[in-house]
Amino acid sequence: MVKIAFASSENRGLESRLAYHFGRCPYYIFVQIEDVNIENVETKKNPYYNNHVPGVVPQFIAGNNAKVMIAGGMGPRALDLFRQLGIQPLTGVSGKVKDALDDYLTGRLEGADPCEEHR
């Protein structure tokens, strides 16, 4: 079983749109997968949305037992923090959560590079 976190700009579950920046998004969609079956979908507000402090969001994601973090973009420090916490970051992803989930499950998502603002 694996839990995947998605940075989201909406509170619409699997229909939510992915947010460009993981730390400044209003919501996280957590999807629990067993094999390729969705076991649970949960939306949580980003507790640091209005008070972004570098480093706290990776801890929040880890505290929710996610092993994968999918977002449009993130900086190099966040990428390193996720990796140190044993969470696989995947960036450069856009569209709906359900489509990104399908891409992840079929092996079409890979890689995590710092977004342009952080290069």
Domain ranges within the chain, ordered by starting residue: 2-118
pLDDT digits (tens, 9 = 90+) for 23-39: 889 999 999 999 889 99
- Spatial CA neighbour of 31 closest among 70, 89, 57: 70
pTM to 2 decimal places: 0.93
Alpha-carbon span 14 to 41, nearest angstrom: 8
The answer to whether residues 112 and 28 touch, using CB atoms and an 8 Å cutoff, is no
Confidence of residue 119 (pLDDT cuts 50, 70, 90): very low
Helix or strand (DSSP H, E) at 58: helix 56-63
pLDDT at 110: 82
DSSP per position, 70-99? E-SB--HHHHHHHHHTT-EEE-S--SBHHH
What is the average pLDDT value for the chain, to the nearest integer? Answer: 92
pLDDT at 114: 55
3-state secondary structure of 59: helix
- Spatial CA neighbour of 37 closest among 13, 2, 7: 2
Encoded amino acid at 10, one letter: E
| CATH code for the domain defined by 2-118 | 3.30.420.130
